[in-house]
Amino acid sequence: MNLFQAANGAATFLILSAVVAGLAKLFADVQGSPTSYLIDHPQIMYLGVFVVVFRIKTMLDDHKHFAEREQDKNVFRYIGFVLAILSWVFWALAAYLLPATVRSSELMATSILISTLWIAVHLVEILVDKDRRNKEILTSLMREKWVLVNVGYMLCLVGHIGWFRPVVKPAEPKALLVLLAVLLWDILTSRSFRSVITTG
């Protein structure tokens, strides 16, 4: 495990801890059963599932990315790593503010936007190297798929914020259900998850 992979793991721990801290703070102020509260506010559960599962999925993807030898001492790797850190910061803030789903969605959309810029940097990294461009066609196609999926995620999140009112009302849970549907498709077509299942 290299430094970049270790940072990726630490970021995952931080984000998951932020989810727990945000929910603990919420439940401390809730009158009655926390379970009943979540049932009455399903958008918290929907967004929480997305934040946690998507983080695990991207952790696996990023772990493979940071292990690629072709990137050693490459300036693109460090640019991507800086963007990754910025994305993780917004992700952690979104996780902590999970009970305020509109604000959390706004921060999560920002995190995904930064992450998409990171993917774009990696695509440029491949395209400027003729040998890698010919050798990593499948990798480029996968990165392009991530860009499209990320756009889908962002549209769902800003839909929850209220960008598409009056078609989709602010804080509308349906936008988050569509978000989870996109996540499910992303997971089922993910090489990282298939590798974990095969290994298991």
| Sign of the CA dihedral with 114 first, then 5, 65, and 52 last | negative
The DSSP 8-state label assigned to residue 69 in this structure reads: G
CA dist., res. 12 & res. 58, Å (int): 9
CA dist., res. 81 & res. 87, Å (int): 10
Residue pLDDT, tens place only, 112-126: 999 999 888 878 877
Least confident among 24-33, 68-77, 115-124, 148-157: 68-77
pLDDT of residue 72: 52
Residue pLDDT, tens place only, 70-114: 555 567 778 888 998 999 999 999 999 999 999 999 999 999 999
pLDDT of residue 77: 74
pLDDT of residue 80: 80
Query: Hey, is 170 helix, strand or coil?
Result: coil
Least confident among 10-14, 62-66, 162-166, 176-180: 62-66
Angle (CA) 183-189-193 rounded to 5° is: 85
Least confident among 12-26, 124-138, 161-175: 124-138
Helices and strands (DSSP H and E) totals, the chain: 9, 0
pLDDT of residue 125: 75
